[in-house]
């Protein structure tokens, strides 16, 4: 083969850059997830429910609480019945996992209605997670009475167990399934909403235990670290071609984290 022939066969070095710079139909939703992360970081750093005197105040009472961390102040907002914080966490953690589904909707919709179809799909998808957050507000009062380490260790152990079940594998397979979308009219709107509901239901069945961990961990210091770790697990499973191995590795990591949280707490109570 001549040098010129080899040069023609060799893929251009600029191809990865071109793919990176290529317009993405899901860019607006990716930016929304980034904005949600920025908002959560700002709330965690500044304290979302701090008063002017710098002390955290119990929502709805105005009673100052001293010795309350900024992340616990954020947790108080979510635990007061306001779903705004949970919705923000859902956008930050779960919307990135829906990007492949949104790209499917965008590329299979007419150009003039592409953004509308994607917005419909994303709204239904996030509504599933916000509904799950509303269901968690009831039992949140129960685990709030437990020591933080005990509640978190139990949630991590439950998530590790769920990772290894056949129901988890089936849910992950459902997350990768697509469906045809009608091109125009109300059928197109209903099709995008139905696809968002299917994706949201499959994602909920797959990741409900991980988000339960996040609900319990949101009252602890290092909340953002837990968010980043759990988001990494969700994205790795969602984007992997063969998700079984990442799922097992995540189960091992969650089990190890459960032991790391439980053993020091048990040792401290024993001694």
**Residue 208, CA distances (Å) to 18, 40, 128, 215, 251 in order:** 37, 21, 11, 10, 14
Q: What is the tens place of the pLDDT at every residue in 127-171?
A: 999 999 999 887 777 777 777 788 899 999 999 999 999 999 999
Report if residue 253 sits inside a domain.
yes
> What residue ranges of the chain have pLDDT lower than 70?
1-23, 48-82, 219-220, 265-271
Q: Which residues of 149-162 are buried (b: 16+ CB within 10 A; e: fewer)?
A: bbbbbbbbbbbbeb
Report if residue 266 sits inside a domain.
yes
Overall number of domains in the chain: 1
Question: What share of the chain in percent tops pLDDT 70?
Answer: 74
**Pair of tokens at residue 109:** 């919709």
Report if residue 72 sits inside a domain.
yes
Phi, psi of 64 (to 5 degrees): -70, 145
Report if residue 218 sits inside a domain.
yes
239 lies in which domain range? Answer: 24-270
Report if residue 100 sits inside a domain.
yes
Q: Which residues of 86-124 are buried (b: 16+ CB within 10 A; e: fewer)?
A: bbbbbbbbbbbbbbebbebbbebbeeebeeebbbbbbeb
Report if residue 15 sits inside a domain.
no
Closest by CA position to 120, among listed 53, 50, 191, 173:
191
Q: What is the tens place of the pLDDT at every residue in 167-187?
A: 999 999 999 888 888 888 888
């Amino acid at each position: 083969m001549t040098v010129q022939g080899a040069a023609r066969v060799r893929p251009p070095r600029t191809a990865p850059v071109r793919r990176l710079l290529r317009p993405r139909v899901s860019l607006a939703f990716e930016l929304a997830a980034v904005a949600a992360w920025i908002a959560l970081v700002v709330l965690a750093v500044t304290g979302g429910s701090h008063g002017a005197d710098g002390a955290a105040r119990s929502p709805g009472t105005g009673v100052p609480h001293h010795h309350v961390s900024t992340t616990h102040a954020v947790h108080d907002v979510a635990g007061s019945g306001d779903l705004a914080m949970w919705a923000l966490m859902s956008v930050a953690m779960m919307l990135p996992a829906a990007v492949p589904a949104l790209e499917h909707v965008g590329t299979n919709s007419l150009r003039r209605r592409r953004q509308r179809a994607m917005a419909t799909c994303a709204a239904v998808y996030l509504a599933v997670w916000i509904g799950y957050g509303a269901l968690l507000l009831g039992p949140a009062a129960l685990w709030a009475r437990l020591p933080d380490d005990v509640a978190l260790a139990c949630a991590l152990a439950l998530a590790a167990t769920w990772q290894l079940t056949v129901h988890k594998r089936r849910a992950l397979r459902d997350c990768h399934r697509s469906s045809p979308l009608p091109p125009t009219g109300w059928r197109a709107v209903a099709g995008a909403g139905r696809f968002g509901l299917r994706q949201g239901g499959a994602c909920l069945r797959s990741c409900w235990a991980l988000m339960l961990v996040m609900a319990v961990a949101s009252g602890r210091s290092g909340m953002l670290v837990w968010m980043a770790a759990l988001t990494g697990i969700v994205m790795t499973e969602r984007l992997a071609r063969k998700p079984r191995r990442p799922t097992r590795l995540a189960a091992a990591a969650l089990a190890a984290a459960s032991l790391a949280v439980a053993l020091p707490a048990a040792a401290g109570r024993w001694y």
